[in-house]
Structures are given as C-alpha cells and as structure tokens.
Structure 1
Amino acid sequence: MQISRSEQKRRIKEIEKLVSELVALPPQVLGQAPVPEELREMLLETAKLQGSVKQRQVKYLTKLVQEHPLEDLYALVGRHRGKTLSAQKQLHTLEFYRDALVNEALEKQRICRQNNEEWGESWASDTLIDLKNHLPEIDELTLSRLSYLFSRTRNPRYSREIFRYLRAVQELQQRSSRRPEEA
C-alpha cells in the first residue's frame, strides 16, 4: 500500500509533536528516553533553547527520531504528559486505513465498470490484508461490505461505520491486552 505525500507529511507532523513533547519533559525523565546517548543529549540541549531556534532544532530532531522505534517514546510521553498524543496517533492511523479502504473500493468499482465485470461485497483488498496485520481481530467481510456499499452509494454513513468498526476493534484489542497486566 503506497502512502500519499499528504499522509507522509501528516505522519511527520505527528512525530514533530512527539519530539516537542519529549523536549518539554523534565531532564531526569528525558534521561530515561530509549534513544542513543547522543540523541538524548540533543533533546536535553533543545529544551534549553527558545523561539525559532528551538523550532528548527525540533524539526531536525524529528528527522533523527524517525529512524528509531516510536512506540517506546510515545509510552514515555504518555506516562508523564498524558495519553492524548498516543490516542491522537491511533486515531490518525484508523482514519488512514478507512480512507485507503474507501479509495481502493472506488478504484476497484471503476475498473470493474470499465471492464464490464461483476463486482460484489466480498471483494479482495490489499488494504484489508495490511489492516488484518495491524488489527488481527477485524472481520474482513464486514469491512469489504461497508466499503462496497460506500462506493456504490457514496453515502458518508458507510465511511463513518467503517471508522466506528475499526475503533471498536482497536479498543477491544487494547482492553484485552491490558487485562493480563492487571491480573
């Protein structure tokens, strides 16, 4: 699945927000960041800067941080600054999958019309395969049916239902992953 330039820019902005939150953390907390020592030192130095100099440094650090696993950094920020940044990232991921699924359905419908082929609710989708890797609990038939209905009617209700379904599955997955820790 190819990511559009707009989506790439949105993802970089999310990482930039993460770096801004990291820089705002107290030095003793930032010392626990799961990044190489030199990057940790740069984060500590950036915290002391102000104005446009700090903004430029945050953009530079964004490029460096992209090369490292981000989940641990989101967890660190979440423990000390709240979970909103992580929740926002998850929301954007679901929106991306919904849009990709709907666009793929529209393209599939166009190709089938062009070739005078029949197209049904249980169509094969590359996005669904990728989504199944991200959220294994999804029902592929439900999502292919909803995206098929959206492409046929262009009713935004189906797009919203796709998003609600994805969010419900994600919340269920998060709840089930938290239970063993609590026990």
Structure 2
Amino acid sequence: MMLYRVELREAAARLLSDATDAGPNVFSKRALPLSQEALPAIYLSAPADTARSTGRNAPDFVRVTQLNVDAMVSAGTPEATQDALDDLTEQIELLIMQDVGFQALLSQVTDITTRQEVTSENSAYIGKVRVAFSLEYFEEFSPGGTPVTGLDLRMQVPGNQNFAETLDTVFVQKSVQ
C-alpha cells in the first residue's frame, strides 16, 4: 500500500506522459536538472501535505497535497522558448483540470499557482515553469485492534422488577472485498 499523495503523483504522471509536448520525458522519480537534449521534459513531485482533523471522534482528515509539476523547454530564441513554455503550461493545466478520472480521485483542487521564467544558460534559452496544484481529498485511518465479530446486547431497567431482562447476541458478518 502506498501513500495516497504518491498515488496522486503517479496518476498525474501517467496522465501527462505522451499527452504533452514532453512526450515520454515525464518523470516522477528523478532529480533535476536535465540536459538540454532531454527537453522538453516534465518532473512531478508531491513535497508538501497538510492534514486537518474533521473532529475529535474517528481519525478522519481533510488532506491537501501540493503537487508540483515542473516543466522545462528550450528553443532557439527567447520568443520561441516563451511560446513553447506557454503551450506546455496550458497542456499541463488542461490535462490535470479536465481529466474526469483524475478529478474523481479528489474532492477538489483548492488552488493553482504558476511561476514561469525564461533564462539564457550557456547561451541556450531555457524556459521553466512550476504549476503547483493543491489537491484536497478525505482520508480515514482505520482503528487498530481486534475487529468486532459480535455484540452481546443486554437490556434491563434497574429498580424495576416488572421489566424482564433481555439478552441477545448479534454477530457481525465479514464483508467480502
């Protein structure tokens, strides 16, 4: 079993792979930087996660995972690099936000933050963007211990001799998964 934030990161990587200008250069388990020859490329990470309790009862949480989608492009001029970066940024946002299967994994996307830059590194123009999605979902932790298999129910009224005592045993049926 893997953490749900890891499942979300991997689902986003599958979604973006081959459906963007980055083609197969979509990575979720690789460190940056990448060489200019490997561009365009997309790198996904889920570096932050916050859980807020829903109350004092069962261990239920509303979680928000930050999914960072970092993309890099390179083109011959600053203008061409910016255009390629804008196209890839749009592809990322539309795929994540419009895919029904991916959105079904969430309760909502609480916000999206986008930061772009075009720089000249080693005389090559490199465009970089980070699209950070805040993905909200619900998580419940199962209580530990021995599972309940049956209950003994006893009903009586203390101090009332006219009320008959009743005892019943209820067995909990195992669910088949």
TM-score, scaled to structure 1: 0.26
Between structures 1 and 2, the one with greater strand share: 2
Between structures 1 and 2, the one with greater helix share: 1
Structure with higher Rg: it is 2
